[in-house]
Amino acid sequence: MSKIRDDALSMIWYGGRLSQQYIVDNYVKIETHKLRWFEHNQDSIRADLYQGLQDAFHEGESDTGNVGHRTILPSSFVGSPRDMIQRFQDAMSLVQKFGKPDLFITMTCNLGWEEIQNELLLAQTAQDRPDLLARVFKSKFEELKDDIVVKGVLGRVIVYVQVFEFQKRGLPHAHMLIILDEGDKLHNPEDYDRVVKAEIPCKDEQPQLHNAVLKHMTHGPCRAQNPRSPCMKNGRCKKGFPKPFSPETYQGNDSYPVYKQYDTNNPVPLNDHCRIMVDNSWVVPYNPWLLLKYNCHINVEVCCSIKSVKYLYKYVYKGPDRVSMEVRPGPNYDEVQQYIDARWVCAPEACWKIFSFPMYRMYPAVFRLQIHLLDRQQVRFRPHEPITNVLERSKKIMLTEFFYMNMIDHDARNYLYREFPEHYCWDYKNKTWTRRRSHKKVVGRIYTISPFDGEKFNLRVLLNHVKGPT
């Protein structure tokens, strides 16, 4: 697990905070090298509208080095603002296809896991080993996803979106949105109670679950018991704790239901070494089976309202924490420098990215479909490449070949443009659509167009309603 030889002494892991700083510095070097490439090679891969190239060529311009000047941080850089926006749009296309999410799950790393504690060196704490935190949490989450997605412990899952994040204090955690099959959806408060609990169980009947809820699923303390808690703002808890007592579960006015939380009039101590008393109003919603198995904070919420859709998906793709911001005058806008100035990197996140662990994943996959007006598709080219070669290479693209397939294939006329990837595959090499042979699920998404784009926006509206256009 720790990737350390038993017969070799690694001084890196005895450095404490100095080791954490060393790891962060090395990751920043790796990331800066990637960002520097984007910054210094804006001219190596150029892009302009197809019509723009034609106009330049007809005016006697034959050097592509003089066409298409722009400086951006592209969406190919994972974690960039453009990347986050596209992932959010991809996730929303799944909602359009399958409906609102049913469950929102958040899992946070537990420093007391045996897999972490057993690997610590002499006099070490878990914070001294960000590599262990990253590897163990990755393993635990994959097991959790296997239970939920493959084994279906909460119901048959047809769609899921997962995102990994890192708190400022260094603990990795993951958000997961899932959409259940129609036969397993949660329709009423009785179904909610079957999956989610928000009460402290009786210590005599369920001692292990009782201790787990108090340790991992109790908010605070805050308010009068701890006015300096991070959740406090203007004298009130930002999370709304303590929650109001309720004799039964019912559908609330916001994104989540109000869960059953009896007023037992019998507060219990938060732990054996603390005088703080808590009751059901301080409990974060959880699933008993998952809590007992993974022994960590696993918040399970039912998404009962359509109002939750945009908030939840934007929350999942809100991006990394930022600690500084710089406002610069003038028209020049350096996205690379802005990304560097505003980021927050902790040691576990640095290890996670050095190990090349994924930050995002969704199922089914979303295939992004190009849209453009006649001869206004985007093309990519290199400096000093003959424009005639660029024009010839860029004639066949997704949208024009979609029109062509509707002319030669009668079956293709039964699908909208966004439905096309479910039945046909795009061959990037030959630039043609071919019938899909595998049963892999794919959802198509046409790139978002602003209503201010006029005819291009109208074209997108037509493609979303007209089948088999030629």
Q: Is residue 245 part of a domain?
A: yes
Distance between CA atoms of residues 263 and 412, nearest Å:
61
At 306, which amino acid appears?
I
139 and 171 housed in the same domain: yes
For the chain, counts of helices (H) and of strands (E): 14, 15
Please report the pLDDT score of residue 70 as a whole number.
Answer: 54
- Closest C-alpha to 313, from 161, 446, 447: 161
Residue 85 and residue 70 in one domain? no
Within 8 A by CB and 6+ apart from 279, the residues are 200, 242, 263, 264, 266, 267, 268
How many structural domains comprise the chain? 3
**Residues paired with residue 378 on neighbouring β-strands, in sequence order:** 49
Are residues 269 and 291 located together in one domain of the fold? yes
Is 38 within a domain?
A: yes
User: Is 2 part of any domain?
Assistant: no
In a domain, 387, yes or no: no
For residue 376, being part of any structural domain is answered with no
Which one of 265, 299, 322 terminates a domain? 322
- Residue 341 and residue 317 share a domain: no
Res 422: pLDDT: 93
Whether residues 216 and 292 share a domain: the answer is yes
**406, 345: one domain:** no
Q: Answer yes or no: is 141 within a domain.
A: yes
What one-letter code names the amino acid at 298? I
Place of tokens 């017969």: 7
The encoded tokens of residue 115 equal 């897999």
Among residues 334, 360, 386, the one where a domain terminates is: 360
Let me know if residue 368 belongs to a domain: no
Q: Do 430 and 341 fall into the same domain?
A: no
239 and 182 together in one domain: yes
Q: How big is the chain, counted in residues?
A: 470
Residues 335 and 281 in one domain: no
Residue 223 and residue 156 share a domain: yes
Query: Residue 61 belongs to what domain range?
Result: 20-77+324-360
- Across the chain, which has 470 residues, the per-10-residue mean pLDDT values are 59 84 92 86 63 61 57 78 86 89 93 91 86 93 96 94 81 91 91 92 91 90 80 84 88 78 83 79 93 95 75 70 56 71 84 92 92 80 79 83 93 93 91 88 90 90 92
For residue 240 the two structure tokens come to: 């709304």
Examine the domain organization and report whether 146 and 133 are in the same domain: yes
